[in-house]
């Protein structure tokens, strides 16, 4: 029995290797792409966004420019992560976007999260922190074998 298990584990690993990173990419990419899509539905930022204090260099941009740039970055780079295309660069830029979001919106609201995400109490930094950890994983580990990045790296036969 031990011999059978010892023989099966490497075979199973060859089939499932990379699925964790794929699921991670699909989850985090969807969250960012959807958040960006919502922002791009109306180029006029909501009132709560207009009252935020952004760090440099974002203070040099108008509220509308910050809103649209956040929407574009989240949408385009979220889709890139889903596809596994320029995944490390996309993760790095989205980490910066997440940092700005936490700095300007979420940190002062405390540690609130998943169970209140659809309420005003769910705007804390727990969810952005978890998304940041997911992005950091993609940045450091790469997108995995089920990605366009992986296809680009494979030598042509």
For the chain, the domains span 2-153
Contact by Cβ (8 Å): 155, 148: no
* Tally of CA atoms within 13 A in the half-sphere of 105 that contains its CB: 21
Most confident of 93-97, 116-120, 148-152: 93-97
Residue (of 75, 72, 89) closest to 149 by Cα position:
89
Q: What is the pLDDT of residues 72-82, one digit of tens each?
A: 999 999 999 99
Q: What is the pLDDT of residues 49-74, one digit of tens each?
A: 888 888 888 888 999 999 999 999 99
- pLDDT of 50 reads 84
**Confidence band (pLDDT; 50, 70, 90) for 106?**
low
Contact by Cβ (8 Å): 102, 125: yes
Percent share of the chain, pLDDT over 70:
84
The DSSP result for 8-36, as a single string, is HHHHHHHHHTTHHHHHHHHHHHHHHHHHH
Beta strands in 37-156 (DSSP E): none
């Amino acid at each position: 029995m031990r011999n059978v298990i010892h023989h099966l584990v490497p075979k199973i690993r060859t089939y499932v290797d990379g699925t964790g990173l794929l699921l991670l990419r699909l989850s985090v990419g969807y969250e960012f792409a959807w958040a960006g899509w919502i922002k791009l539905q109306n180029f006029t930022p909501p009132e709560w966004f207009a009252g935020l204090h952004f760090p440099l260099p974002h203070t040099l941009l108008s509220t509308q420019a910050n809103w649209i740039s956040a929407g574009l970055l989240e949408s385009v780079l979220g889709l890139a992560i889903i596809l596994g295309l320029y995944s490390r660069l996309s993760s790095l830029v989205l980490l910066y976007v997440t940092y700005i979001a936490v700095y300007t919106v979420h940190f002062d609201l405390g540690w609130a999260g998943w169970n209140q995400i659809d309420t005003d109490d769910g705007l804390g930094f727990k969810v952005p922190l978890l998304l940041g950890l997911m992005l950091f994983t993609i940045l450091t580990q790469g997108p995995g074998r089920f990605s366009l990045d992986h296809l680009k790296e494979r030598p042509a036969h």
